[in-house]
Structure 1
């Protein structure tokens, strides 16, 4: 297990239980006491959990908390990769697409570097750099604006740049996904820019791993029932999966182990032994 994957596992275990002892994490991960303590110190320094004597406790999410791009990049890496591959299968040569800022959408951009003749509209500095340094077979339109901790360009300049633009499909990240609050972000100005991206798009595909479900950020930028396609991973609890399937037009689950893609209904049938 890579260090980043191990830290993601520790964070997931702590958040699921609310707290975890070092000894428990050692047993579950099969690594040394010192390794777990170093990982906890790293996650504490990044503001992702709180280190306490003998273990760690989960942080209560605050609506205005906005982790940086580098901190989020080390989390749920396998899930993001699987989601990105599933989303890349929806992109045809010559398409005009939008890509919002975020670590999952960045992974998606990595997955489409070899798709020819794309025109990409984005407010993400890392996405623009990645595609610009790639095959050179893409036209990249970077919106401009004020840079946020998540490396998004936001604000009036970005919104103005998006006016009059039209993309076939937007690939959109989200800080949180909730049945009532919809898609949210902790940054008010980024929410405004995301609304402009949505407004410029004929179809919206949301890319978000299962840890985003149930999280509510400060500002809503899109209602859940306005989403055309949501691609997440099979870690979404069954109850939440049912809610998402009822709310969005298409819910697709990426299988992290085999990077296989199924609909939520197919996943449910498989869990029931194939019975519908």
Structure 2
């Protein structure tokens, strides 16, 4: 994880508390430093994807910002780790799995590193590198166009590769979940891959932190009704209602709710 200075940590806490734009002049006055020093802090935090620069100050990134892989990895990191641990506890040994694109599946891979007998199909380069460290895990990496900003492969080659498999557990994330239960992605290529996971898995497990609910993305990749289990860190009342409506098992915190869909 990135190491922030004590002042930068205080700025991040201030941003989360105020949930508004912080002017550079106000921060300089508060910390007793020059505006130039604060600008350096703002630039460093912006480069890490922790904040967004605006005229005269900074704000927290919007949930609708589609950030690079490295920057997204820093957002809601603890929640993603928690989700990954839940998946690792629920997944039986010797399973075959899809692991989709994104930062949460990468954390799932970390949590599964000591699992034995897994067969993993993925287009997530980080997932492949992590799980290939365990000689008892068989990893199939899809070819295709490499997206350097997302550290994965996409395109018809990748999607066709996925369609060659019959997998027990499809584990994937999405760009957002609409208020009507639509699963959303930012690009058609991402949606095609998630469709292949849904259609070629016996059970579909969605991994998504609470901030994905209500987040906009332009491409529909599926419906919540196609999901068997949702692994998350917290569930709003509206999302809980949708999951109950579509009989989706919800795993969050230290408890889970079974709707007996499987």
TM-score in terms of structure 2 length: 0.81
Quote how far apart the aligned CAs of 1:222 are: 1.2
Judged with a 3 Å threshold, the aligned counterparts in structure 2 of structure 1 residues 109 and 59 are, in CA distance, closer, same or farther, namely: closer
* C-alpha distance 39-239 of structure 1, shift in aligned 2 (>3 A): farther
Q: List gaps (5 residues or longer) in structure 2.
A: none
The answer (yes or no) to whether the contact 1:8–1:74 under 8 Å persists in 2 is no
2:97 pairs with 1:104: no
Q: In 1, distance between residues paired with 2:92 and 2:256?
A: 21
**Could you say if the C-alpha distance between residues 180 and 43 of structure 1 is closer, same or farther in structure 2, counting changes exceeding 3 Å?**
farther
Change (3 A) 1:138 1:32: farther
- Partner of residue 262 from structure 1, selected from 241, 252, 255: 255
1:42 matches 2:52? no
**Shift of residue 224 of structure 1?**
1.5
8 Å contact kept, 1:171–1:206: yes
Instruction: Tell me the secondary structure at the aligned position of residue 192 of structure 2.
Output: helix
Kept in 2, the 8 Å contact 1:114–1:135? The answer is: yes
What is the aligned partner in structure 2 of residue 13 from structure 1? Answer: 16
Q: 1:109-139 deviations in whole A, cap 9, x for unaligned?
A: 000110111100111111001111x221110
Q: Distance in 1 between matches of 2:26 and 2:246?
A: 38
Match for residue 86 of structure 1? Answer: 86
Q: How far apart, CA to CA, are the structure 1 residues paired with 2:39 and 2:243?
A: 37
Match of 2:250? 251
What residue number does 1:68 align with?
Answer: 68
Please state if 1:141 is matched with 2:140.
yes
CA distance in 2, matches of 1:33, 1:233: 38
Instruction: Verify: 1:190 aligned to 2:183, yes or no.
Output: no
SS for the counterpart of 2:167 is coil
Match of 1:229 in 2: 229
Question: Tell me, what secondary structure is at the counterpart of 2:92?
Answer: coil
- Shift, 1:163, TM fit: 2.1
Task: Give me the CA root mean square deviation.
Answer: 3.3
2:212 — aligned with what?
212
Alpha carbons of structure 1 residues 85 and 24: separation in structure 2 relative to 1, 3 Å: farther
Q: 1: CA distance between counterparts of 2:221 and 2:27?
A: 37
Structure 1 residue ranges without an equivalent (≥5): 255-260, 266-276
CA distance in 1, matches of 2:244, 2:216: 19
Q: Closer, same or farther in 2 for the Cα pair 1:21/1:229, shift >3 Å? A: farther
The count of corresponding residues between Structure 1 and Structure 2 is: 249
Quote the offset at 1:181 in angstroms: 6.0
Say whether the 8 Å CA contact 1:171–1:207 is kept in structure 2: yes
Check conservation: 2:15, 2:59, Cα contact below 8 A.
Answer: no
Cα 1:181–1:12 change in 2 (3 A) is farther
TM-superposed CA distance for 1:7, in Å, is: 9.3
| Matching of residue 177 in structure 1 with residue 202 in structure 2 | no
Q: Distance in 2 between matches of 1:229 and 1:195?
A: 16
CA distance in 2, matches of 1:240, 1:226: 15
Q: Deviations over 1:39-67 (max 9, x none)?
A: 543343356523442x42356666xx632
Give SS of 1:189's match: helix
**The residue matched to 1:170 in structure 2 has which SS?**
strand
